[in-house]
Amino acid sequence: MSSNTILKSINWLVFIATIFYGAYTFFLLIGAVFVMGNNDTPLGVLGILAMGLCPVPVSLLALRHRRLAALGFIIAAGLWIAGSIDGDHYLIQKFGNRAVTFGSFPYLLKTSSVALFLAFFYGLTDLLNWPLLWPRSPHSAKHSPPLKI
């Protein structure tokens, strides 16, 4: 078994796990939509949507463009973290409960760690030039020479 085959196998396993993770977050998103209300900030809602809707399309993007997929996971995790902190800040202003922010830090690490790990994995595999799961066709459209007028 060649090293190329092993690298592709690892890549396929991560891709399939990401698809299952994306399905899981999407079903969690369906439940979260029904409990959104007046105490949710727009950035918090955007973070919830990003973490719920991002994994499947971004993992499909990783078949050919791993660097963009890594960026997509970083953006989704960043929106989730910023939205959660913004929501906590709003609740502190509204109700005066300062324990909310410190209590949510382990929760933020736990919930964003999968997206950040996937961003690290796809970024590292792109940097190390692992073989693509869906290679570009040698017959794909290439840049045509500039027209001379």
Q: Where are the domains of the chain?
A: 3-127
Rounded mean pLDDT of the chain?
84
Average pLDDT rounded to a whole number, residues 22-36: 85
pLDDT at 40: 84
Q: Is the pLDDT of residue 108 over 90?
A: no
pTM: 0.82
What is residue 98's predicted lDDT score, i.e. its pLDDT? Answer: 63
The pLDDT assigned to 144 comes to 54
Taking only the tens place, the pLDDT of each residue in 42-66 is: 898 898 889 989 999 999 999 989 9
CA angle (85, 19, 33) in 5-degree steps: 45
Triad 47, 52, 55: Cα angle to 5°: 110
